[in-house]
Amino acid sequence: MNENRVAIIGIGMTKFGELWDYSYRDLITEAGIKAITDAGIEGEDIQELYVGSMSPGLFAGQEHIGALVADYSGLSGIPATRVEAACASGGLALRQAFLSIKSGRNDIVVAGGVEKMTDVPTGAAMMALMGAGDEQWEAFQGITFPALYALMARRHMKEYGTTLEQISEVSVKNHYNAQFNEYAQFRFEVSLEEVMDSPPVAEPLRLLHCSPITDGSAVVILASEKKARELKDEPIWISASALATDSLALHDRKSLSRMDSVILAAKKAYKQAGIEVKDIDFLEVHDCFSIAEILAIEGLGFCKLGEGGILTEEGQTKIDGDIPVNPSGGLKGKGHPVGTTGISQAVEATLQLRGEAGKRQVKDAEIGLIQNVGGSGATCVVHILSRG
Ligand code: COA
Task: List, for residues 377-387, the tens digit of each pLDDT value.
Answer: 999 999 999 99
Nearest CA to ligand 1 atom 2: 208
**pLDDT at residue 71, as a whole number:** 96
**Which residue, by CA, sits nearest to atom 24 of ligand 1?**
122
Asked whether the predicted pLDDT for residue 223 surpasses 90, the reply is yes
Closest CA to 368 of 329, 320, 325: 325
pLDDT recorded at residue 2:
54
Q: Please identify, by atom number, the ligand 1 atom nearest to the C-alpha of residue 292.
A: 48
- Best CA proximity match to 224, nearest among 38, 354, 31, 45: 45
Ligand 1 centre from 212 Cα, in Å?
5
pTM: 0.98
CATH superfamily membership of 143-207+237-386: Thiolase/Chalcone synthase (3.40.47.10)
Q: How many A from CA of 320 to the centre of ligand 1?
A: 29
Domain ranges of the chain: 6-121+214-236, 143-207+237-386
pLDDT tens-digit profile of 260-287? 999 999 999 999 999 999 999 999 999 9
**All residues at 6 or more sequence positions from 268 whose CB lies less than 8 Å from its CB, including other chains:** 240, 242, 244, 382
C-alpha 365: how far from its chain's center? 19
* Residue of 156, 175, 286, 336 marked active site: 336
The runs of H, that is alpha helices, within 218-340 are 225-231, 260-273, 290-299, 308-313, 330-334
Instruction: Evaluate: CB of 150 within 6 angstroms of ligand 1.
Output: no
Q: Tell me: the pLDDT tens digits for 151-208? A: 999 999 999 999 999 999 999 999 999 999 999 999 999 999 999 999 999 999 999 9
Tell me the fold of 6-121+214-236.
Peroxisomal Thiolase; Chain A, domain 1 (3.40.47)
Output the CA angle 75-76-82, nearest 5 degrees.
Answer: 85
Does ligand 1 lie within 6 Å of residue 87's CB atom? yes
Structure confidence by residue, pLDDT tens digits, 35-90: 999 999 999 999 999 999 999 999 999 999 999 999 999 999 999 999 999 999 99
Cα of 207 vs centre of ligand 1, distance in Å, is 7
CA nearest to 368, candidates 205, 203, 237: 237
Could you tell me if the CB of 122 is within 6 A of ligand 1? yes
The CB of 93 under 6 Å from ligand 1? The reply is no
Q: 3: Cβ–Cβ under 8 A, 6 or more apart, which residues?
A: none
Residue 159, burial from CB neighbour count under 10 angstroms (0-12, 13-18, 19+): middle
Nearest to 200 by CA among 174, 164, 243, 231: 164
Burial class (CB in 10 A: 0-12, 13-18, 19+), 274: exposed
Q: Which of 87, 210, 288, 380 is catalytic?
A: 87
pLDDT mean over 105-123:
98
Annotation says 87 is catalytic:
yes
The reply to whether domains 6-121+214-236 and 143-207+237-386 share a CATH topology is yes
Task: Write out the H or E segment, with its range, that includes residue 96.
Answer: helix 89-102
Percent of the chain at pLDDT > 70 equals 99
Structure letter (DSSP) for residue 224: E
Q: pLDDT band at residue 3, thresholds of 50, 70 and 90?
A: confident
Q: Which of 130, 211, 379 to mutate to test the pocket of ligand 1 (most atoms within 8 A of CB)?
A: 211
pLDDT at 388: 85
Query: Does residue 195 line the site of ligand 1, with CB under 6 A?
Result: no
Atom of ligand 1 nearest to the CA of 288: 47
**Ligand 1 near 207 CB (within 6 A):** yes
d(CA 96, CA 137): 30
Whether 209 lines ligand 1, by a CB cut-off of 6 Å, is no
| Long-range contacts at 184-187 (CB < 8 A, ≥ 24 apart) | 184/16, 184/328, 184/329, 184/333, 184/334, 184/335, 185/16, 185/17, 185/18, 185/212, 185/214, 185/216, 185/333, 185/334, 185/335, 186/212, 186/329, 186/332, 186/333, 186/334, 186/335, 187/333
State residue 331's pLDDT score. 98
